[in-house]
Amino acid sequence: MSDSKKTKEQLIEELERFRTLFDNAPLGYQSLDEAGNLVEANDTWCKALGYTRKEVIGKNFAEFLHPDFRKHFKENFPKFKSFGYILGIEFEMIKKDGSEIIVSFDGKIGYNDDGTFKQTHCVLKDVTDRTRAEEALKESEERFRHLTENAQDMIYRMSLPEGQYEYVSPASTNLFGYTPEEFVNSPILIQNAIHPDWRDCFNKQWKALLNGNMPPTYEYQIIHGKTKETRWLHQRNALIFSNEGQPIAIEGIVTDITGRKQAEEAIRTQNLRYYALLKNLNGMVYQCENDKDWTMRVYIPYNEWNDFHLSLAKRQNNKKHKTF
């Protein structure tokens, strides 16, 4: 066999190996001419879109794009040829079956020996799953942000042991009289906001939580930063630990319960007044319900309760019906 024939066969083998590597590359490859028509595409590219090479060669790249991206391609393809390269450009493409995929392109321009445009050399990667996941995450974050920013309760996260606020929701302005920015910029602000009667308790709780001990809820009073009024707050906490078991943050929700506390105090005061009134009565106070048994509710002075209770018990044992 002549040397020239061996050389030719070796060249054919090398071309076949190159073609195999080219067609089975993990990334799709395409080449466009100066008008944006496909002059080459490997098997990976064709499989990603569901076409054969014969079906795509010679067609304009814009034909495979989602309608929303065709104008973008036509406007930016000249810029690609001018700049000489692209990195991470994303397009939405339409597969042969009509489904959509999102692809990311990296590429550069190939030139003739005289420096004129020859063709593009681009690789594409299907980033549909990644992009959809990013979009879903963004939507979730938007929903969470809308929820926290419009909640009446204050939501926060504080790093430990620094005591630095990482996040404070806008409700802090109404609850404490301080904006989220003020809390973030001045971590000791919370100490100043705590009512003087509760500062010792606050300091004890702070030392305990640094050791990983914190009750899930507690109530305390503050002095509002703007109105200077005293407010009651209810706080729910979650202690966040590192993989090593060390407390690294607190996440919590703070609710204004001033109205509830005022109502509880009003009821307590009213009950004390009723008790004082009944205690000084000489007789008995009772009320009968308008039901089939004429159920009696008895309100009598405390020091007469035992005698009345014994007397009532005897009558109930002797009679099977109400006699009041």
The secondary structure of the chain, three-state, reads CCHHHHHHHHHHHHHHHHHHHHHCCCCEEEEECCCCEEEEECHHHHHHHCCCHHHHCCCEHHHHECHHHHHHHHHHHHHHHHHCEEEEEEEEEECCCCCEEEEEEEEEEEECCCCCEEEEEEEEEECHHHHHHHHHHHHHHHHHHHHHHHCCCEEEEEECCCCCEEEECCCHHHHCCCCHHHHHHCCCHHHHHECHHHHHHHHHHHHHHHCCCCCCEEEEEEECCCCCCEEEEEEEEEEEECCCCCEEEEEEEEEECHHHHHHHHHHHHHHHHHHHHHHCCCCCEEEECCCCCCCEEEECCHHHHHHHHHHHHHHHHHCCCCCC
Residue 140 is predicted with a pLDDT of 82
Residue 294 is predicted with a pLDDT of 75
Structural domains for the chain = 3-127 (3.30.450.20), 151-261 (3.30.450.20), 281-314 (no CATH)
- 10-residue stretch averages of pLDDT, the chain, 324 residues long: 65 75 87 96 94 96 96 94 94 96 96 94 94 88 82 93 92 95 90 93 86 88 95 94 91 95 92 78 71 70 49 51 37
Residue 142 is predicted with a pLDDT of 84
Structure token pair of residue 34: 């100066």
